[in-house]
Amino acid sequence: MGRISSLLNPATYLILNLGIVLILYFGAFSVNIGTITQGELIALINYATQIILALLALSQLIIAITRAQSSSIRINEVFEIAPSMKNGEGVAIKDDGVKIEFKNVSFSYSDTAEEALSGISFSINKNETIGIIGGTGSGKSTLVNLICRFYDANSGEILIDGVDIKKFSFSQLREKISLVPQKASVFSGTIRENVKFGKDYVSDEEILKALEIAQLAEFVDSKEEGLDFMVLQGGKNLSGGQRQRLTIARALVGNPEIIILDDASSALDYQTDAKLRKALKELKDKTIIIVSQRCATVKNADKILVLDDGKLVGAGRHEELLKNCAEYQEIAKLQLGEGVLGNA
């Protein structure tokens, strides 16, 4: 369409000018034998030009209308899609000690794709710190996305506080669970706005505390503007690690019960990563899930889940896994050195 409409303008002007040439050529004979005057010939040329220019405007209008029509059809198609996720009616929460429970959960992104998670069962107790480890594509992010109910499982049940996750309303879930996604996204605006992220009730004091835990307080202190320091679009004036820590601080405000870090310390150096984990450990009444590819990051968790190709191949503490989980042994051996196996 672009090619044809780009031809339209030059083609119309070509026809217009050829028309003028023809009128002048034949008009000249008529003027010569005296049937029309020179003035009438010029008037004729003016009329012809006006008519063709009007036709040109009309053709532009027709293009615009056709475009608008096909766009509106597409927009309406999008409007007509009903979300497959149904909002739950909201529930009163009971407290039975188990925070999150997966019962034989399987999930695939579409009917045709192979299962990204198959037959996953585990439970996480209240206020535990859980590590999830596994290679890329093993389904770690998929698993945490299911906890946040970004997708519904194909089969099996996910319970939070003993209640089926589908019964919670979305706002209830979002309040309960904070997710730091794998890809840190920050916006142009102040640090304060980036941390608040729409939670207007959050005080400056709470923001500073969250920044402290996320190991970003030093950076903010070093800026004259403090919390008013402007972050550029996409966080261009921050380093990768600073961006990640900013999104971690965002997840900490608003007092969530469950905090999920999806590979959120991948751009941090080991030292900052360790400090961050230590600060997280000191938080009271939080269930924390740390997803990582690094053994050192999940080593001290109360329980480590080992994922491989969508399957749960091991669950337990670091020392236990070193003894009885071949996949974990493999990862530990590569990252911590052969020695770890001998010590365990």
Q: Write out the residues near Mg ion by the rule CB under 5 A.
A: 140-141, 182
- Please tell me whether residue 294 binds ligand ADP under the rule CB under 6 A: no
> Smallest distance from the beta carbon of 245 to Mg ion, in angstroms?
18
Answer whether 184's CB lies under 8 Å from 244's CB: yes
Nearest CB to Mg ion, comparing residues 195 and 298: 298
For residues 335 and 294, is the Cβ–Cβ distance under 8 A?
A: yes
Q: Where in 66-95 is the site for ligand ADP (CB under 6 A)? A: none
Shorter beta-carbon distance to ligand ADP: residue 142 or 178: 142
Residues in region 136-195 near ligand ADP by CB under 6 A: 136-142
287-292 and 258-262: which strand pairing? parallel
Give, as ranges, the residues between 92 and 111 that touch ligand ADP (CB under 6 A).
Answer: 109
Question: How many Å apart are CA 209 and CA 225, to the nearest integer?
Answer: 17
| Token couple for 76 | 């309406």
Count of helix runs (H) and strand runs (E) in the chain: 13, 12
Assess 250 for contact with ligand ADP (CB under 6 A): no
318 contributes a contact to ligand ADP by CB under 6 A = no
3-state secondary structure of 94: coil
Q: Give residue number: closest CB to Mg ion.
A: 141
Calpha distance 182→9 (Å, rounded):
49
Nearer to ligand ADP, 211 or 264 (CB): 264
Closest CA to 53 of 15, 110, 91: 15
Question: Closest separation between CB of residue 228 and ligand ADP, Å?
Answer: 35
Task: Name residue 158's beta-bridge partners.
Answer: 102
Q: How many CB atoms lie within 10 A of CB 258?
A: 22
* Single residue of 100, 116, 158, 251 touching ligand ADP by CB under 6 A: 116
The smaller minimum CB distance to Mg ion, of residues 129 and 141, is found at 141
| Chosen from Mg ion, ligand ADP, none, partner binding at 138 (C-beta under 5 to 8 Å by type) | ligand ADP
Residue 313 has phi, psi (to 5 degrees) of -100, -5
Chain residues that interact with ligand ADP, rule: CB under 6 A: 109, 113, 116, 134, 136-142
